[in-house]
Structure 1
Amino acid sequence: MFSHVVIFWTKPEIPGATDALIAGAEQYLRPIPGVRSFHIGRMAKSHRDVVDQTYQVALYLQFENKQQQDDYQVHPLHLEFVEKAFKPNCARVVIYDFE
């Protein structure tokens, strides 16, 4: 298994940036071949100090192996997501990949 976790900080000056990012991921990323598991959602509030609550959206993708994730990165739908949903709506992103 290869897991790909993306944490997004949306642009606060853009109303609806969070919704647009989530909708864009659903439209462009979910259908990409090789994605075994897809989950995107808003940050869940927590009373625990150790839980980062500074971001707005998280994306979790699971692939069978690293090669499938590498193929996903250059897929035309992923590139379209970056241009149409990510760049207009996000101020920052952090990615965690693990096997």
Structure 2
Amino acid sequence: MKTIKRRSFLANVAITSALATVTLPSEAKPKDKKFVHHVYFWLKNPSNEADRTKLIEGLTTLSKVPTIRFHHIGVPASTNRSVIDRSYSVSWMLFFDNLEQEEVYQTHPIHLKFIADYSHLWEKVTVYDSEQV
């Protein structure tokens, strides 16, 4: 049997203990998982550029909610394949640190004001939420 010196043994125990406390990204706790909130709007008057511009203006204001880490406002791209849905008018994609931050966004006064001020513009909204794996 090989003899291990006390100093080497203690060093190995310290390294093993340190590694045991490291959390790898794939082991993220649920509250640490990034959260994406992607909203698609169908305008009541899809050919009305003023309505689309007004909605985009409202989304720009909505982007001031402090829990939003990144946002993207978009319109259908010119791509055309059988799997692409281009029927929506405007998309709104948000990135949050976690689900709890998205829930703050949902009840934030800026978000509630956005709904009150701009909901008359759309006839349909579809939301796709996803959490990081």
TM-score range, shorter chain: over 0.9
Question: TM-score when scaled to structure 2?
Answer: 0.69
| Paired residues for 1:1-99 under 5 Å | 1-12=34-45, 15=48, 16-27=50-61, 29-85=62-118, 87-99=119-131
What percentage of aligned pairs have identical amino acids? 37
Relative to structure 1, the CA distance from residue 14 to residue 81 in structure 2 (aligned partners, 3 Å threshold; closer, same or farther) is: farther
Cα-Cα RMSD: 1.3
Q: Which has the larger radius of gyration?
A: 2
Counterpart of 1:20 in structure 2: which amino acid? K
Higher RCO structure, 1 or 2 (CA under 8 Å, sep 6+): 1
Is there any run of 5+ residues in structure 1 with no aligned partner, and where?
none
8 A Cα contact 2:56 2:73, kept in partner: yes
Query: The residue matched to 1:59 in structure 2 has which SS?
Result: strand
**TM-fit CA distance, 1:88:** 1.4
**Runs of 4+ off more than 6 Å:** none
Distance 1:23 1:41 in 2: 12
If the length of structure 1 is used for normalisation, what is the TM-score?
A: 0.92
Larger strand proportion of the pair: 1
CA distance in 2, matches of 1:13, 1:42: 11
Pair 46,14 (structure 1): closer, same or farther in 2 beyond 3 Å: closer
Q: For the structure 1 residues 22 and 13, does the alpha-carbon distance in structure 2 shift closer, same or farther, using more than 3 Å as the test?
A: closer
Distance change (3 Å), C-alpha of 1:59 and 1:80: same
